[in-house]
Copies of this chain bind each other. A is one copy, B any other.
Amino acid sequence: MKVTIKDIAKAAGLSPATVSLVLNNRPSRIAESTKERVLSIAHEMGYRPNSAAVSLRTNRSYTLGLIVPDIRNDYYATYARGMEDFCAEYGWNMIFCSTNNNLERERQAIEALCTKNVDGISLVATPSEEVKNNFIANRELILSMKIPLVQMDLTAYKKPINAVISDHEKGGYMATRHLIALGHRKIAFITGPFALEGCQSRLMGCKKAFEDYNIPWNDELIYKGNYSYASGLDGMDYLSDKDFTAVFAFNDLMACGVYKGLEKYSLSIPEDISVIGYDDHFVSSILGVPLTTIRQPIYEMGKESARILIHSTEEEVSEPVISKFDLKLIVRDSTRKI
């Protein structure tokens, strides 16, 4: 049988209350000698607190929930790992939920996390094309449950709310400026779903760069992808009869698709076409032609979101905190001067 606080109390000839105070290191006037005795007995007996009991009593679970579209995606996994590492440092745990880009499953995940009494939820929006209303409904649901929430890239949700975000407009600008600086004027864009704010912002950054350098914008050279490898490939098919010298794929996975597509049309990188990606996915550095890309500090963003959540359970925080992260241009071999 599992050893409880009562067992320790009995063994030490004390009351459960005293043992609890000692084990939790609560301010009290318990004799040092008693403390030591309790601690050593607890250790000897192999005591492990029962978190269900603690949680029931205190309404705190020392557990965070993470909701992502798919944990298999390196991007989300890295974010998750950032959260996890921060949690581990504080003795917290994490419940992971993949939604598979399904808003109904996202809702179920939220319900489950609520039932499990998590002390906070980090939500990475599903890049869903479904109606924005459901999209928002899920956020409202979390808030209505009074569970602290951190949103990543507060997509389509403008209410004040905790968030960790990358400055995607700047990211879009940086990538485009890099290509422009290399002499490119006819640049194709393979975007993500427009429903996602991160995508919209990137695009705005691109347009801004075109304006700043007085380059005419051409809607023909935009292909709307969905952040998947396949849609990078599709993008190249769409672009095959267009005139361009560089491609900016809004994430690295699509850039990989672009690589494949270019190969199909016997175009080489960067000799014929320059390619730039976004995210700095781990494959980007190991590709045949290492990919120039915009790095998001996604691991650090995960850490920060855990920090915000844990912090907000520690003391009443009134103002939502929004942590904005800087992006970095990583120049590799897939872009060149023309």
A-side interface size class: 35 or more
Count of identical protomers in the assembly: 2
Instruction: Across the interface, name the chain B residue whose C-beta is closest to A109.
Output: B88
Instruction: Give the residues from 278 to 329 in chain A that come closer than 8 angstroms, CB to CB, to chain B.
Output: 282-283, 286-289
Q: Mark A245-257, 1 if CB is under 8 A from B, else 0.
A: 0000000000011
State A88–B282 Cα separation when bound (angstroms).
29
Q: Which one of B74, B94, B288 contacts A263 once the chains associate, using CB atoms below 8 Å?
A: B288
Q: A114 an interface residue at 8 Å Cβ cutoff?
A: yes
Instruction: Across the interface, name the chain B residue whose C-beta is closest to A66.
Output: B96
Segment touching B, from A44-52, A172-180, A205-213, A214-222: A44-52
Instruction: Give the residues from 80 to 124 in chain A that come closer than 8 angstroms, CB to CB, to chain B.
Output: 80-81, 84-85, 88, 91, 93-98, 105, 108, 111-117
Interface of A is mostly: helix
Q: A31 an interface residue at 8 Å Cβ cutoff?
A: no
Whether A48 and B287, one on each chain, are in contact in the complex, defined by CB atoms closer than 8 angstroms, is no
Whether B115 and A50, one on each chain, are in contact in the complex, defined by CB atoms closer than 8 angstroms, is yes
Distance in Å from the Cβ of A50 to the closest Cβ of chain B?
7
Q: A70 an interface residue at 8 Å Cβ cutoff?
A: yes
Whether B94 and A95, one on each chain, are in contact in the complex, defined by CB atoms closer than 8 angstroms, is yes
Given contacts A49-B115, A115-B50, A116-B93, contact A77 B72 (CB under 8 A): yes
State A300–B5 Cα separation when bound (angstroms).
41
Distance in Å from the Cβ of A61 to the closest Cβ of chain B?
7
State A256–B285 Cα separation when bound (angstroms).
11
List 27 A–B pairs whose Cβ atoms lie within 8 Å, in order of A's numbering.
A48-B111, A48-B114, A50-B115, A51-B116, A51-B117, A52-B55, A52-B117, A63-B116, A70-B81, A71-B71, A71-B81, A71-B84, A72-B77, A72-B282, A81-B98, A84-B96, A84-B98, A85-B98, A88-B108, A91-B112, A93-B95, A93-B116, A94-B95, A94-B96, A95-B95, A229-B286, A263-B288
Sorted nearest first, the 6 A-B pairs with minimum C-beta distance are A288-B288, A52-B55, A52-B56, A72-B77, A96-B96, A52-B52
The residues of A with any CB-CB pair to B shorter than 8 Å are 48-53, 55-56, 61, 63, 70-72, 74, 77-78, 80-81, 84-85, 88, 91, 93-98, 105, 108, 111-117, 229, 256-257, 259-260, 263, 282-283, 286-289
